[in-house]
Amino acid sequence: MALPGPLALVGSGEYLPQMAGIENGLLAGRPPRYVQLATAAVPDGPAVVERWHNLGIAQAERLGVQPIVVPVNDRTDANDPAMADQIAGAGLVYLSGGDPGYLADTLRDSVVWKAIVAAWRTGSALAGCSAGAMALTSWVPDIRSPTKEATVGLGLLPHLRVIPHFDAFAARVADLVDRFLEPYDPAVTVIGVDEETALVGGPQVWTVQGRQSAWRLTPDGRERLAAGMTLTTTADAP
């Protein structure tokens, strides 16, 4: 029986050369098919989406694998069986950055999302960077608009809340950590992931990879987890 593949929650840096080692590790022993969705960038316009597509293709070529760009722009695309069919046989499925609420609203309960989950459950790696990492949880706030109601996430990791770009965001947004901790639920682990850094493994046990750190956040403070350290969370496997 096939086991789920590894997960990666990436603070920033998808498709950059300095992150190639992490992406190559996720693909190791899996089919050389690198499936990429830039859906979260759609609100930023076609030129930004094209830029993400080009970066992803370049990274796949750098890694010597086949890039599979799945251009899901809206709910119609997300429920297109032809789009979902492109997910099958992936070595790695990657949700890149942008607007996490738009990503979650577009993919939630869609045939493309169901295909992604099915691929992951049967061994494909699944990564989310920045918006992609946030959307994999169940609670997706708008970091830039604190009064805006949070969006329901994709729900693959309901036991986590993720703050990407943590080193940058925590320095610029004074109450950011408090917003992720309120109301505090000890069954939900709040984690910050610095830029060009990833938590890899999951759903319960994660290893920090990359050039900076991840952080376990509680009302009592912050626990720094440097590269190579592990984070264990308590949750039933999804």
CATH code, domain carrying 175: 3.40.50.880
Please give the model's pTM, rounded to 2 decimal places.
0.95
| Residue 237 maps to a domain | no
pLDDT at 238: 54
Which pLDDT tens digit goes with each residue over 52-103? 999 999 999 999 999 999 999 999 999 999 999 999 999 999 999 999 999 9
209 within domain boundaries = yes
Beta pairing partners, 10: 129, 198
* d(C-alpha 116, C-alpha 92), whole Å: 10
- Let me know if residue 1 belongs to a domain: no
Range of the domain at 39: 7-232
Are the beta carbons of 36 and 229 closer than 8 angstroms? no
Whole-number pLDDT of residue 214: 97
Number of domain units in the chain:
1
Instruction: Specify if 199 maps to a domain.
Output: yes
Q: What stretches in the chain show pLDDT beneath 70?
A: 1, 174, 235-238
Asked whether residue 208 is assigned to any structural domain, the reply reads yes
